[in-house]
Amino acid sequence: MSSALLTPTGPATHSSPVTFREPTVDDGGELWRIARDSETLDVNASYSYLLWCRDFASTSILAEVDGRPGGFVTGYTRPETPDTLMVWQVAVDDDHRGRGIARSMLEELVDRIPDVRWLETTITDDNAASIGLFTKFADGRDAEVTRSELFTTDHFPDNHDPERLYRIGRLD
């Protein structure tokens, strides 16, 4: 398990270095807490974060600040298209926002997974932060972003807002 060091480029709340690594089962509770505290993500059962850290660690990433989890990206490669990384959630602890950690995690994660040529995620229309994050990621990779409807409100049993599919690539 390797780790990379981030030198903050944005306005840092403090200057502690950020390292990246695969999450472990021991991190699952912190991923759940960061998602819950984000107040924007759909929070899943804590059990799902434990399973994610066990079964999809190699396609996910954890940012550590001062030796503690400060952010994460969860993702998986799609079974039908193994060259596509589907990003499920991106979150950064409130204390560490504004340092470019989310984009750095995406960059690091894509670079770690061999043969990934496409990145997909879903975003609701009101999530300007995620739209900006993934658009800037695509711009930095000189990649195209295509948007299409994936899940409508009718697909959800709980009146969830529609989720648009953002497909970014080709990532060579």
> Torsion angle of alpha carbons 120, 125, 127, 128, nearest 10°?
100
Q: Is the pTM of this model over 0.75?
A: yes
Distance between CA 125 and CA 166 in Å, rounded?
A: 11
Can you read off the two tokens belonging to residue 97?
A: 């926002």
Tell the CATH topology of 16-169: Aminopeptidase (3.40.630)
The total number of residues written for the chain in this structure: 172
Tens digits of per-residue pLDDT, 77-101? 999 999 999 999 999 999 899 999 9
The full set of domain ranges for the chain reads 16-169
Rounded to an integer, the average pLDDT of 51-61 is 98
65-88 mean pLDDT: 96
- Specify whether the CB–CB gap between 130 and 123 falls below 8 A: yes
Task: Give the pLDDT confidence of 2-11 residue by residue, as tens digits.
Answer: 444 444 444 4
DSSP strand pairing (81-92 vs 118-123):
parallel
